[in-house]
Chain A
Amino acid sequence: MRDEDILLTLFLVFLPLSFMSLGGGASIVAPVHQEAVEVHQWMTNRQFIDYFALSRAAPGPGAMVFTLVGWAAAGWWGALIATLTIFVPTSIVTYMVAGAWNRYRGTAVHTALERGLAPIALGLITAGAVVILDTSDTGPLGWAIAVGATAILVWRSLYPLWILGAGGCVYLLGMMLLS
């Protein structure tokens, strides 16, 4: 596949998904995973999981995992196209809507939209979490780490890098002990 084709494909994949990302980048992890790994085969499942981990360790929004999808597909240009496609169009729409939204703040329509879309975002992000856990192939130990990390963080706010590092160490130790 020629480079320009890949760039166009990246754009066409990420553009509609960006408009479906209710609740931010995390809500489209599941469909991006499917596009990147199964449909276009830009990376293996293992690589997607690892890029997901890396994107959470890096500063910036978690959506930087999409930058890495672009990177895997088409190097620097792919990373650039993926990033711009994810961030820019929806920001433009948001800007356009913001003025009208401000006038209707506090009205019943506004409240209904918030209350109605909240479960959608919550459901999508949780679904993405399930997909990551499932495809990470980490078995019960993986689920235990995820649930444990959730519980700890709900109870007490900790610096994210510690949690990521701890999860990595626990799983590594677990695998070394089990093998």
Chain B
Amino acid sequence: MLDPKPAPSAPQDPPDQPPVIPHVSLFTIFKIFFPIGALGFGGGLVGWLYRDIVEKRKWLRDDEFLSMVTLGQVLPGINMANFSIYVGQKLRGIPGAAVALTSLLLVPFFFVIGLAAIYTELQAYILVQHFLAGMAVAAVGLMMSVMVKSGKRTMRKVTPAVIVIGIVFTVGFLRWPMVPVVLVAAPISVAIAWFTRERAHA
């Protein structure tokens, strides 16, 4: 999770409009997002996108890119999909967005269904069951390693740590429904963050 920058008190104007982006073919959009989806194991995709889309092709400004990344942490939804639709829309409107998202998900969609079809044939074998169960818990490890690395800052203060533990306990162990818990906890957490914000020193 990114460090928030020290807060000025007023919203910033976006920089002057950059030169018009030349017309990009839908096929080019496909060429960008298809490999990301096809090869997208684990993390690191954000850096790849940055090098390609911001540095090399200049389809996004730095500030736009940063906004999309931080929005991904604040808004619900799948970050990479949000990215693809944003870039696609910016380049070629709705067709661009549709092509971007479809290209991104093409390989994952068919690959994962392919795995499920193979699994259906093999699921009766106890060895396969055990192997997949081990894979599932290892996948939990994958997920949690990212959380540990990015969550260290969050867990340093008492209030966020209490909120995290509370949610893990209620939603994870007690199996309370997630929606009411979030609807209560999120506004409280944001309000506390607001009232404990660092004021700029005079």
The residues of A with any CB-CB pair to B shorter than 8 Å are: 16, 18-26, 28, 30-31, 34, 46-47, 49-65, 67-68, 71-72, 76, 79, 83, 86-88, 90-95, 97-98, 101-134, 136-138, 142-143, 145-150, 152-154, 159-161, 163-172, 174-176
Contacts and interface: CB of A to CB of B under 8 A. Distances in A.
A46 B128 CA distance: 12
- Interface SS of B by simple majority: helix
A123 B166 contact: yes
The interface centre, meaning the residue of B84, B85, B138, B148 with most chain A CB atoms within 10 A of its CB, is B138
Interface of B: 1-2, 4-5, 7-14, 37-42, 63-64, 66-68, 70-82, 84-86, 89, 97, 101, 104-105, 107-109, 111-113, 115-116, 119, 123, 127, 129-145, 147-149, 151, 153-155, 160-161, 163-168, 170-173, 175, 177-179, 182, 185-186, 189-194, 197
Contacts of A108: 7, 9, 194, 197
Pairs A-B, 8 closest by C-beta atoms:
A167-B138, A149-B141, A60-B108, A171-B134, A123-B167, A90-B77, A116-B190, A130-B172
Contact of B179 (A16, A23, A147, A163): A16
Contacts of A127: 167-168, 170-172, 178
Given A30-B171, A107-B11, A117-B189, A90 B75 contact: yes
A172 B131 contact: yes
A129 to B, nearest CB: 5
A170 B131 CA distance: 8
- Interface SS of A by simple majority: helix
B41 A160 contact: yes
Given A79-B113, A83-B109, A119-B160, A105 B66 contact: yes
A57 B40 contact: no
Nearest to B37: A60
A121 B190 CA distance: 12
Contacts of A171: 130-131, 133-134, 137
A76 B114 CA distance: 11
Contacts of B145: 149-150, 152-154
Given A90-B76, A171-B130, 15 more contacts: A20-B182, A54-B132, A58-B112, A59-B40, A94-B72, A95-B86, A98-B67, A113-B193, A115-B4, A117-B74, A126-B147, A126-B172, A138-B136, A168-B134, A171-B137
